[in-house]
Amino acid sequence: MIESYNMIIPLKFNLKYFLLVFVLITALIKIGSAQIPKDYKGKPFKDKYYKLGAQSIPGRVELAYYDLGGEGVAYHDNSPESEGSKLNHEVHDYGSHHRPGISSYVAFFREKEGVDISYTKDWADFNHPNKVDPAVNQLYIGWESDNEWTNYTINVKAPGRYKIITVYGNKDNNSSLLLNGKEAVKLKLPEDTGNWHYWTQATVGEIVFPVAGLNLITLKYNTGANLAYLDFVRLEEKK
């Protein structure tokens, strides 16, 4: 009887330990998979040229690569057409906005959707000094209007606190970032460059990603700026 009793105690202890580990693992799986709102129908952007899907953090989130899903799901824009593509189809006395040598893929990027996207041009963005030059043919969101937004499914490789850096033109537009449907940070564009096509670079805020894996960020913006991308740079934890 004594031997049996001694065997039962370790068995019970091991069973409790196993159950505890199982509960913890299940909870972590639920946390990791429940970051994106369950009712969200958008999907990471992909096309025949860009095949990577969810953009990774730390790293750069190209704002033109907002999610697939259409108006009211992946984005909200106050006009149904892309103002950038519309302009790039036009020819004026000063020339065409579809610059020589630029592919239709860049000039009319996602033109059937409502988000207003264009690209940096020689005579508009590089015919004057910029404090920080954007990339040549850099896609950006312009023609911004109050209460517009874009969604991005991102893959957070390392949780933690990040500073956010952007390249922008013009002035502050009272933008903010939501993380999985909840406001995470208000962004501040600190300098008025004086023109939509006079570009600079600035750190515009900080954000905390509590959990690794797929997350959803929403960029809410108003009238005021041309925005190209957001760089997320992980900050070292203070000891």
Domain limits of the chain? 1-34, 55-234
Between strands 148-156 and 160-170, the pairing is: unpaired
The answer on pLDDT for 143 being more than 50 is: yes
Q: What is the mean pLDDT of residues 62-84?
A: 96
- Which pLDDT does position 5 carry in this prediction? 52
Q: Mind listing the pLDDT tens digit for each residue in 156-168? A: 999 999 999 999 9
- Which pLDDT does position 16 carry in this prediction? 61
When the candidates are 2.60.120.260, 1.10.1040.10, 2.60.370.10, 3.90.1150.10, the CATH number that belongs to 55-234 is 2.60.120.260
In the chain, the percentage of residues whose pLDDT exceeds 90 is 77
What is the Cα–Cα distance from 39 to 173, expressed in whole angstroms?
A: 29
Q: Which residues contact 124 (CB under 8 A, 6 or more apart)?
A: 197
Residue 103 half-sphere exposure toward CB, CA atoms < 13 A:
8
Q: Mind listing the pLDDT tens digit for each residue in 193-220? A: 999 999 999 999 999 999 999 999 999 9
What is the Cα–Cα distance from 87 to 121, expressed in whole angstroms?
A: 13
| Cα radius of gyration (the chain) | 23
Nearest to 189 by CA among 172, 169, 165: 172
What is the Cα–Cα distance from 109 to 104, expressed in whole angstroms?
A: 8
Average pLDDT, the chain: 89
The answer on pLDDT for 98 being more than 80 is: yes
The answer on pLDDT for 32 being more than 50 is: no
Helix (H, G, I), strand (E, B) or coil at 24: helix
- Which pLDDT does position 54 carry in this prediction? 98
What is the Cα–Cα distance from 59 to 200, expressed in whole angstroms?
A: 19
Between strands 213-221 and 148-156, the pairing is: antiparallel
- Which pLDDT does position 236 carry in this prediction? 84
Mark 3-42 as b/e (b = at least 16 C-beta within 10 Å): eeeeeeeeeeeeeeeeeeeeeeeeeeeeeeeebbeeebeb
The answer on pLDDT for 181 being more than 90 is: yes
Q: What is the mean pLDDT of residues 69-84?
A: 96
Q: Mind listing the pLDDT tens digit for each residue in 122-131? A: 999 999 999 9
Contact 85, 79 (CB under 8 A): no
